[in-house]
Amino acid sequence: MSACMHPCRTGHCRRNGTTLTEVIVAAGMVIAIASVMIPLIVSASRLRTQSRYYQQVTDDLSNQMDRLVALPTDQREQALEQLKPSAHVLENLQAATLTGETSTDSNGTTLTLRMQWQRPGDPPPIQLTAWLDCNPETGQPPKQSPEQSQPTRETAPEANQ
């Protein structure tokens, strides 16, 4: 018999590598973690984008409202007929529309602006309302009745029928 000179056969064998089983377990763990993290990252990205759009819309509504409230009544009505979203909003949001209306009731006159754009789920438009006339005695807007103080959600008209 010839003597084997391989280090493993002489009792001095030390394994410094990884086995195939260890590689398969590690790859399985990486795949499992990736399958959980990728949908979370995509969802967070979509949420961040929608939040940015919402902020742009609220900024534009606020700017439009400030401009309209400062106008005299006759010019305000004319400006309401010519309302359109800002160029920045139009370039970032698909099919953005801006509408406005004044309404008068026993509590006074309000101006309501609404902006709608194409987004998942077809939620109601974002709206901003301001009092145009104040109580002459107090200088404050009229107090709302309990049913008026509750926030309302308006449904948007079906865009794709």
Query: Is 155 domain-assigned?
Result: no
Query: Is 154 domain-assigned?
Result: no
Which residues lie across from 114 on neighbouring strands? 99, 127
- CA Rg value for the chain: 32
Q: For residue 71, what pLDDT is reported?
A: 87
32-89 pLDDT, tens per residue?
Answer: 999 999 999 999 999 998 899 999 999 999 999 999 988 888 888 889 888 989 888 8
Q: For residue 30, what pLDDT is reported?
A: 96
Q: Would you state the structure tokens that stand for residue 160, as one six-digit string? A: 């794709």
Q: How many domains in the chain? A: 1
DSSP letter, residue 155: P
- Residue 7: which pLDDT band, with cuts at 50, 70 and 90? low
Query: Is 120 domain-assigned?
Result: yes
Query: Is 56 domain-assigned?
Result: yes
What is the extent of the structural domain holding 40? 20-149
Q: For residue 160, what pLDDT is reported?
A: 43
Q: 58: closest CA among 105, 104, 125?
A: 125
Question: Distance (Å, rounded) from C-alpha 107 to C-alpha 73?
Answer: 18
108 to 71, 130, 133: CA distances (angstroms): 18, 11, 6
- Residue 156: which pLDDT band, with cuts at 50, 70 and 90? very low
19-46 pLDDT, tens per residue?
Answer: 888 899 999 999 999 999 999 999 999 9
Provide the 10 A C-beta neighbour count for residue 61. 22
pTM: 0.63
pLDDT higher than threshold 60 for residue 95 = yes
